Amino acid sequence: MPQLPEMPNLDDEIFKLSKEGILDLDTIYKFVQQVQLFNRLKRMSLPDIWREFVSSIEIPDEVIEVVKYFNDKGELEPALVPKLQEVKSAIENIRVQKRELLRNLATSSRLSQFLVDSQVHLYYGQGVPLS
C-alpha cells in the first residue's frame, strides 16, 4: 500500500452540509482533494482486498464535475467559469481606480498640509502606499 497524504477530517463540514449549510471554497477544495485521492487509488495497482474496497466507493458524476473546476492550487479555473473571469477583472479594475483616487487625494496640494504621511491603511491588509 503506498504512503497516503494526510487528509483533513471533514466531519463538521459533512454535518454542516446535512443541515443545508454553505461551504467556502477552501473547504470545497478539501473535498476535491479527497475525491482526487480516491480517483488516484482506483488507478493504482493495489492488493486485492484494497482494490475491492476502493472500487466499492462510488463518486457521483456531479462531484467529479466539481473537481474539474479547481486547479492544483485550490483556485477556481477561470476558463471553466467565464463569468468568474469577468467578475475578477471588474474587481481588479475597481482596485486600480481606488488606488489612483487615493493617490490623487494624498498628493493633492489642498490636503498635503493636513496629512502626516501618504500611507493609506485599508481593511483586509490591502495597504496602499501612495508615495
> Do the domain assignments include residue 39?
yes
Q: In percent, how much of the chain has pLDDT > 70?
A: 88
| Residue 50 Cα distances to 7, 44, 45, 106, angstroms | 18, 10, 9, 65
> Do the domain assignments include residue 54?
yes
Q: Number of structural domains, the chain?
A: 2
> Do the domain assignments include residue 102?
yes
Range of the domain at 107: 82-129
Q: What is the pLDDT of residues 25-76, one digit of tens each?
A: 889 999 999 999 888 888 888 888 888 988 898 999 998 888 988 988 888 8
> Do the domain assignments include residue 101?
yes
Residue with the three cell numbers 483586509? 124
Say yes or no: 19 and 60 in one domain: yes
> Do the domain assignments include residue 96?
yes
Burial class (CB in 10 A: 0-12, 13-18, 19+), 28: middle
Say yes or no: 62 and 21 in one domain: yes
pLDDT band at 121 (very low <50, low <70, confident <90, very high): low
For the entire predicted model, the pTM comes to 0.61
Considering only CA atoms, give the Rg of the chain.
24
